[in-house]
Each structure stands twice: as C-alpha cells, then as structure tokens.
Chains A and B, each alone.
Chain A
C-alpha cells in the first residue's frame, strides 16, 4: 500500500524543489498508475477496490499539483508550514494591483488598436514574460528563506494565470472574426 503521508515530490521520487524534471514525473506517474489503478483490481473485493480508487485519486492529485507551476509553488510553501487558500487570500501590493488594472485595460482596448492581432500578440508576450519573472522571484525568495515574500509571489501568479486565459480568449475571438 502506498504511503499517503509522504510528500507529493517523494511520491514520484523527486527532490522537493521548484524546478522539476517533467519527464521523470511523467514516468513515475505512469509507473504508479500501472500498479495502483482500479483496473488492476477488477476482481478484488469492494474494500480493495475502494483503496485503489483512493490511492489513484491521490496519485492524480499529486500529479496535477506538481504539473502546475503555481500549485507546485503553493505546495512547496505548505511543506514548510505556510498553508493558505488563494481563493480567499490575496495580495495587498498596491502597485502590483494597479499594474494588473493597466494590463486589463490594455486587453480591453485591443479591439480598437490599428492591428488588433499584433497588439494582442505583444500583450500576450508581455504577460508571459512577467509570469516567468514571478517564478524566478519565487525561487529566489524561497532560497533566501523569505517565506512571506514567496507566498506573495504565489498569490500574484494567480493573477497572471487569469490574464493568460483572457489574452488567449481575445486572440481566439479576433481570429474567429477574421474567418
């Protein structure tokens, strides 16, 4: 039976760091699935089958967490005792929030640009650049032991996740209109 108490990283034999080897994660994930998936317990009794469902549920949850940079960062903080719900908790960095509003306004105004598609491409690039910078910031703050600052970086990642989604939707709409 799988040890439910070990960290998601240990579960897949990975070091507890932000940068991870995705190939290794994928391989370990499939190996664990092959062993514990309910399809391997077709003939077992109900209790064993339930354990299989729960075990693979945990494996899948762990995999989803580690695959996403924001969730992985949040989980790393949880491992060192900083647990929070980023649905409720939010950043209070005024300058950051102002900047968010600026980007958002820029996104809304894309339609009136001279070349909307070129404009949205530029914005998307800017957004993903800033999102990458946040990841670097998170790693630096963790290394320096500044857990509060690291948490701040994770809270900000959430904003950029939304911006990425929005810029994608706008791009699609623009392309659709061209068709």
Chain B
C-alpha cells in the first residue's frame, strides 16, 4: 500500500469556502463494524447509534416477514434463533462451498444446494448470501452516517484485510453496491490504522517500518508495512484466523467452571467477558456465578493466557521473517482491535518489539478513523493536502501453463493499478481455441493456488503450432480488482472478462491458503508444512474410518474394502515415517484418489439429505 502527500507548487488553490462533500470510512469487521467521518474541524470521529454505541455487531437476523434486524438486536436473539441469525459473514465473503468445509464446525447455518457458485444460506426470510448480509450491515451504517451528517454520502472508503484476495475484495464491493454506496476505494485495514496515527505525515525521506498488531474478537492479524518515499507496501501478513479475544474469555470461563463446580457454560462465558474487561483497570476482580463467589487476580489471568499471547508473538516473528526484517528495524507498532486493551498484550508486544506500542486511539475505532481520513481526502475536502495512497497487490496473479503449472504475470507487492501483457502461442496445429485460466497465489501448481476465472478465446484462425500470437493482458485497478483480456494479435480476435470468482472447481481445502501461500514462499516453512500435512493425513484417515464405520457394509463390496484398507495402511506408514511434506501430501492425494468412488457414492447419497436442509458440518464430514 502506498501513500504520499504531494502539494503541487502554485496549484494550492486559494481555499474558497467550499461546500463540504459528505464522505465516510467504514470498517466492515468480522465481529463488529463501524462508520467514521471527518468533522468540520478536520477531526475524524466514529458515529454512534441512538444509544451512543459506535460498535455495530456484525450480526443480521432474518425474520419471517422478510424484514431484518441488524446489530445488537440481532446479536441478542442469536441464541434463540440461530438458524436465521447470521454472524461473521465476513468469513464467507468471496467464498464458495469448497472453501468453507474447514469452517464447517464453527458455522451453524444451513447451506442450500444450488447451481450458483456463491454460497446460499437458508433463513425464514429466504435464501441469503454473505454479500447480502454484509450489505445489510453497510446499509445500517450508511443510514447512521446520513442521519448524522444530514445528507446523502458522496462516497465511502471501506477497509478490508491486507490478505483479502480478488474474490473477497470483489464481494466486498458487490455488498457496497447492494447497499447503494459509492466506493471511493477499498483500503487495507493495517494501512488505515497507520493513516489514523498520521504515520504517513512523518518525515517521508526515510523508510519507515510499521507493524500492525490486530487482535479482534475471533481473529488475529499481524501486518508488516513499509512506508518508503510515500509508498505503503505490505511486506508480510500473518496471523491466526481462529485466535481472538474470545479465546481469552474461554480461558477465564474454564477456570470459573472448574472453581465453582458449576456447568452453566453460557453464564460463565458472559461473566468471563466482564471479568476480562474489569481486569483492564483493576488488579483483582471478584467473580460471581450463581451462589459461588471467587476472586481472580491479574497475575493469575496473565498466567492463564500466556500461551495465547505467545502464539501471537510467534506469528509476529514469522511475519518479520517473511518480510526479511528484524525486530529492531520496526519503527512503529500500531495496536488494533478491542482485545489489545488487555494490559498483558500491550506489555508483551512492547517487550517483543522493544518499544511501546501506539495505543492512543481507541483500538476498536482506529481502522474506521483511518478510513474516514482517506475518504475525506478522496472526496476533495482537502485541496491543500494532496495525500495519495498507493496500494500493492497482495498475492501474485498468473496463468495456467502446460503441466498444471502457473506462470506469474504480476508478482505480489507490485504497485497497482498495473497493466501487464504476456504473449502465448498455440501448441497444436490448427488449434482454434485456447482456455485462459487465471489464478492467484504464490505456489507453483494450479491446485495450490486460487482459481479466479476461466474463459475461452475462440475463433483463432487455423495456423501451425506456435504461429498464433495470443496476448493476454491483465489490468488491476486501484482497489486490486482484475480484468483480463485475451487477443489473437494477427487477427484481432478478442475475449475479455471481468474476473469474478469461479468457485467449487476443485475440492481441495482453501482455508488458510492465503496465508499459507505467503508463509510457504519461504523454504524455512518446511517443518510447518510437514506438520500440517500430518494433521491433514490424520484428518483424511479419520474421515475414512468414520465413513467406513458408518456405511461400508451398505456401500462397498469386499474388494473395494480391501482396496481402501490397503491405501489406508500405506498413507499411515508414510505419515508416521516420512520427513518430507511433499511425500505425505502425495500420499494423501493418492488416498483421496483411491477413495474417490466412495466419496462420490456417499456424496450422491448425501446431496439428497443436504437439500432437505442438513447442516454443512455433516456435509463436510462426508467429503473430508
């Protein structure tokens, strides 16, 4: 991401009192969302609802009459109406059915079996997609801003995680369009946080390294940014999509249940949350659950969560390694997310980077505030301040070539917008069509990257192999969205596509792929890969075992059972003995291939049930 301010000499227009253009910054979060705007004094502030609450829980409930409840009301009814109350829709944005299998355990919704590549969730109000759910949240924030500002918004800046790929960014923009919002820009969350602190305003002659530590309710992200001569570059991102403030609550709740002997899990959780927040200011807090009373000290709490904190610091270390930087090279550490209020977090992060982290701005609001500052500039409210924010592309873009390999056309961290063309040719005589398969990611093979789009260039005139000149042009706009055009140059036959995600083309699991692809760019991750593959192998073995246990008698004959058991033994041997992740992976692939017929058989059987509204976790079990 890049940012710079330039004032053109002589062009600093005499500031006529101009009508202020209404603009806002929106932080569309997994757990909570916010809207912020810059007031007449140039100060950015988040806008509260009628109850004075700035945070809008990112929860939407669909009612029978087609109406919706958004925010706190929806959150409160979540327990009673779990099927129709959608939270964490952000995790589903830009995702297809193939992507969400690993999330299955945490998602209670009923997914529909549909022809569309986009996920549909069944509710009493009808089928909805994550895009529509997000649009409801955006609409609520839009109304809040327009009421407060007393007029229609000219445009907004919406923040997205730095590692969001093309499909996720596109889905975010689609949600904004549904909410009837004009999007000036999508902005990376860590960059927005850095802007909120005015880090771009500091002496830009020297390179600044900024670490953004973002611990939210259910996710942890670490981003390393480089501000170099005005260009904000995302050097590395990392984190854990299943680690957040909730885990800290959980640690306390477990303690409460143990100490009290109670089994009121839900009450313990809400008490835990209260205790955690109280421990931000006090060294000791009394804890109550029904008739039981106890005391929890800050020291005790810190000990309870030490391993969680350590996990985040390991991710920081890994991200620095990916960025090829040492801790000492980091100039600023920006804290984002409500969970960074915990004193233990601030202390340990400060120790790790050996400098006090920036905490002056409310960590829940800092991203929205940065977005608002950028929206204000884009709306043209600051003619004197020619701030310009340049972004880089977070993941490489490429094309499929022979043998299932990917040829990179635009490398990650290239400043955008960018237009780049690559020439290809036909490899058979009289070949009249060519498939253009666009992929995103850092890995070498097609399966390991994200498939963005596939389209055909037809009506190539018959020529000998290698004579046609096919120019494929990638154009990435300022938001990181891609358009691809293919042209046969000798005849001018053209084909072009606005890249919309193509989902479900394969059944490999993609959860974590984005981060993995970055991590794995470095060879030093082999050990981790091996671990992952072993876990994956265990998962495959378990899935096979449980499937065979449940229905091998009905679905398989003796020969088939023998075949599967042989493959099972082989995979188990390799998993236990091999030190090579690729080998384990190949063994998993082999196992999956052998079991393909069985999976298909079970899938057929299961689709019928899925269509009757089975939950996705059952669905995923079949396929794992």
Contacts and interface: CB of A to CB of B under 8 A. Distances in A.
Contacts of A175: 524
Which residue of B378, B388, B420, B475 has the most chain A CB atoms within 10 A of its CB atom? B388
Contacts of B39: none
Contact of A170 (B324, B407, B523): B523
B415 A39 contact: no
A39 B524 contact: no
The size bracket of the interface on B is: 20 to 34
B4 interface: yes
Contacts of A39: 184-185, 378, 388-389, 478
B477 A38 contact: yes
Contact of A34 (B386, B417, B419): B386
Contacts of B321: 172, 176
A169 B415 contact: no
A49 B429 CA distance: 41
B388 A37 contact: yes
A173 B524 contact: yes
Interface residues of A, number: 29
B6 A30 contact: yes
A128 interface: no
Nearest to A179: B317
Given A53-B477, A170-B523, A63 B415 contact: yes
Interface in A49-97: 53-54, 56-58, 60-61, 63-64, 85, 87
A39 B479 CA distance: 10
Interface in B380-422: 380, 386, 388-390, 407, 414-420
B8 interface: yes
A61 B477 CA distance: 13
Secondary structure of the A side of the interface?
A: helix
Interface string B435-465: 0000000000000000000000000000000
A144 interface: no
B38 interface: no
Given A33-B390, A34-B386, A169 B522 contact: yes
Contacts of B379: 42
B230 interface: yes
Contacts of A64: 414-415, 418
B378 A42 contact: yes
Nearest to A40: B388
A121 interface: no
16 contacts: A37-B390, A39-B478, A42-B380, A53-B475, A54-B475, A56-B478, A57-B418, A57-B476, A60-B415, A60-B417, A64-B418, A169-B523, A169-B524, A170-B523, A172-B523, A173-B523
Interface of B: 4, 6, 8, 155, 184-185, 229-230, 321, 324, 378-380, 386, 388-390, 407, 414-420, 423, 475-478, 522-524, 526
6 closest Cβ pairs, A-B complex: A57-B419, A169-B523, A34-B6, A173-B524, A176-B524, A172-B524
Given A30-B6, A39-B389, A57-B418, 16 more contacts: A30-B229, A34-B386, A34-B388, A38-B417, A38-B478, A53-B417, A53-B477, A54-B417, A60-B414, A60-B415, A61-B419, A63-B415, A85-B423, A168-B324, A169-B523, A172-B522
